Structure 1
């Protein structure tokens, strides 16, 4: 099934000299016969920042609280270095063979198919699309929390802090789902550049406000909270503390995950300069910016709240005055997650629609309506169903930290480390048992162990939360 999709996505290419089909003017078309790509380092960086600085940044203060003052910051730095290193290797795999005239890979799974093939490809395809879908579920949980916080903040101020202001998540999840139904009608990933740009700006807005708020809280406290060894506010057994540490690693891993859509982002970049050069520069810029914000939000959040650091950083400031500051931050989170949701689900949309077009060609039929928009009935129906199902799943398991930790744990090693490393080794012809081969395999093995520990911690936490949970009856 996946192989047929690769054939469909690649069938547009009919190469002649240097890969340029003779019927296409190179002034308007790229070497694969597709319209000229226009992406730059800035649009590429905005896509990456939109994908990376998401709901994950809000959980970092909690993650640092579980790990402590040494392990917390060190873990974030190590994850950033691994992400930077493996993303650089993955960028080299966009073109198969020749780095300039080689065959393009339009998606992450297609790159795995072209270079590794076989079982690697099938495993990657299943895992990538499940991860992207899981990320959509995570965002469907995170955005409504910010919506609720805006109402909760006003409620607390109105009651003078006397009313706990417990609010059901369900109406807000449904509202976010309705919004995504409309936004999901953006036809292709390439068309989301403006949404990614807005989302990236919003991520800076709420990150800066978050840093300001936690810095202000540290000043009000007059002291830096937290301990070297970390640990939550509750007195728990050693086993539960270990699970908390493992889950924290998963949350940090999720905060740095974007490799699964790196190839899709790279496929938007214009040439010249080479796609690899632009992608590497954008990766360095984006990871440096995000790590700076992560360190500030995570560490300053821990300094402000100590062991009581909330799972969602902004929920710790519901009673802050002036309340409009919190409202602006939460509004920025919502806008950002609307864009991040699309960055993650557009590859899923493209996969299903290519499959449908191959089996039922009539699903490609479009009708021009107002504003030059092409109406596609299949796209409207299937994407609407996708969003509805995603919203339903989010309402069924609304555990913010647990979901992020599990996604980060399950996706980090295979998608961010294993496949990029294995593809790079084959692409560059690195000899087995050479010093570089051993080094790369050691990195992969260590990351596998970390991912396994994080997955165990997140599963244990989910099982613990399910003990007192009633479906569709969740409040914050």
Structure 2
């Protein structure tokens, strides 16, 4: 008779196979690299367009303001990763479960994180299919060279009507929010860093985050400013982790390469097909940036912080958290409106599967 395995041993064995917890050998520079790649992606290409919708000063203020708020909420997530001594919250939903309860917490965080990951995959596919180009430094250099030879005379906002300007502002803010999407994978990145009760993973993780955010600021400002000046007027890993965990735990598939290949290939095929159907790059950034990215990056970490840490009323963290929550909720409610309008406008000229 085969020896019985406890539920704890099964979880440990599964964690040694799942992509996020398979290895804990990362250093602080791994954190910096992964956080940069999580942030500086397709969203950066939409920043010049967002700046043209908002205008010079409001656009730069929105980019820097978002950088500041998400830098703070990033710190909160890094701190909360080991909020309980001897326990690690290696996945965003696990932290949600600890804050709001096993069932409620999971269903509050998991759908939001999944939407961020799926939306990122779709938008990245649209980006690759539409442009097959540049990234931040290439966009910066190309825009600067073009601007030197073909400098436009005016830098007014894109729309000429009051209603159009309002909708453009909402879409522009959503586009900027999309650019700060790394929070959905922060705990998963930190899960790869080793830790003990004496030497926690917070220090190397935060060191990497600081370096990453400095690089993010340079890339975002360089691309958005140079792009507007010149032209005028891995995200999927938590999804794979969740998908493979569900296939093994709920549907009782055997962990292995065949399961991993089939599951990931199916996911990529589905999101790629959706990307072919809806080539509305600018509208997608604004819509998804407001609808789900604002939540995972702007206000969900703050809500969890208030629930778990219970800072004193009118203390720095209480005020900072509530400011982030209010701004994040406003973005989540209003920005998708601008994104939908941009999609409707684009639909007049775009054809599906184009």
Compute the TM-score of the two structures, normalised by the length of structure 2: 0.88
Q: How does 1:112-123 map to 2 (within 5 A)?
A: 112-117=96-101, 118-123=103-108
Distance 1:84 1:435 in 2: 15
- What is residue 133 of structure 1 aligned with on the other side? 118
2:72 is the counterpart of 1:143: no
Choose from 217, 242, 256 the match for 1:351: 242
The change in CA–CA distance for 1:8 and 1:48 in structure 2 (over 3 A counts) is farther
- What is residue 161 of structure 2 aligned with on the other side? 237
- What is residue 252 of structure 1 aligned with on the other side? 176
Instruction: Measure how far apart 1:347 and its partner are.
Output: 1.1
The change in CA–CA distance for 1:212 and 1:10 in structure 2 (over 3 A counts) is farther
4+ residue segments displaced more than 6 Å: 7-10
- What is residue 67 of structure 2 aligned with on the other side? 80
Instruction: Measure how far apart 1:398 and its partner are.
Output: 0.8
Q: How does 1:28-43 map to 2 (within 5 A)?
A: 37-43=24-30
- What is residue 381 of structure 1 aligned with on the other side? 262
Instruction: Measure how far apart 1:362 and its partner are.
Output: 4.0
Choose from 120, 140, 143 the match for 1:214: 143
Distance 1:8 1:349 in 2: 22
2:12 is the counterpart of 1:12: yes
Deviations 1:87-141 (Å, cap 9, x if unpaired)?
001111112323xx3x111211111112222534312111111221111000110
Q: How does 1:407-446 map to 2 (within 5 A)?
A: 407-431=288-312, 436-446=317-327
Instruction: Measure how far apart 1:246 and its partner are.
Output: 1.1
Distance 1:462 1:63 in 2: 15
Instruction: Measure how far apart 1:226 and its partner are.
Output: 4.4
Q: Does the Cα contact within 8 Å between 1:9 and 1:106 map onto a contact in 2?
A: no
Distance 1:279 1:49 in 2: 13
Q: Does the Cα contact within 8 Å between 1:69 and 1:226 map onto a contact in 2?
A: no
Q: Does the Cα contact within 8 Å between 1:246 and 1:458 map onto a contact in 2?
A: yes
The change in CA–CA distance for 1:35 and 1:77 in structure 2 (over 3 A counts) is closer
Choose from 229, 233, 236 the match for 1:303: 229
Deviations 1:196-242 (Å, cap 9, x if unpaired)?
xxxxxxxxx83222222222223223x57543xx322xx64321221
Distance 2:75 2:91 in 1: 16
- What is residue 284 of structure 2 aligned with on the other side? 403
Distance 2:272 2:22 in 1: 35
- What is residue 4 of structure 2 aligned with on the other side? none
The change in CA–CA distance for 1:433 and 1:292 in structure 2 (over 3 A counts) is closer
Distance 1:231 1:76 in 2: 16
Distance 1:139 1:123 in 2: 25
Larger Rg: 1
Distance 1:129 1:344 in 2: 10
SS state at 1:72 partner: helix
The aligned length equals 339
Instruction: Measure how far apart 1:448 and its partner are.
Output: 1.2
Distance 1:453 1:12 in 2: 43
The change in CA–CA distance for 1:79 and 1:225 in structure 2 (over 3 A counts) is farther
Q: Does the Cα contact within 8 Å between 2:96 and 2:105 map onto a contact in 1?
A: yes
* 5+ long unaligned stretches in structure 2: 1-6
Q: Does the Cα contact within 8 Å between 1:244 and 1:457 map onto a contact in 2?
A: yes
Q: How does 1:127-276 map to 2 (within 5 A)?
A: 127-147=112-132, 206-221=135-150, 225-227=153-155, 230-232=156-158, 236-271=160-195, 273-276=199-202
Deviations 1:420-471 (Å, cap 9, x if unpaired)?
1122223323245656424421321122113322111001111232345442
Provide the alpha-carbon RMSD of the alignment. 2.5
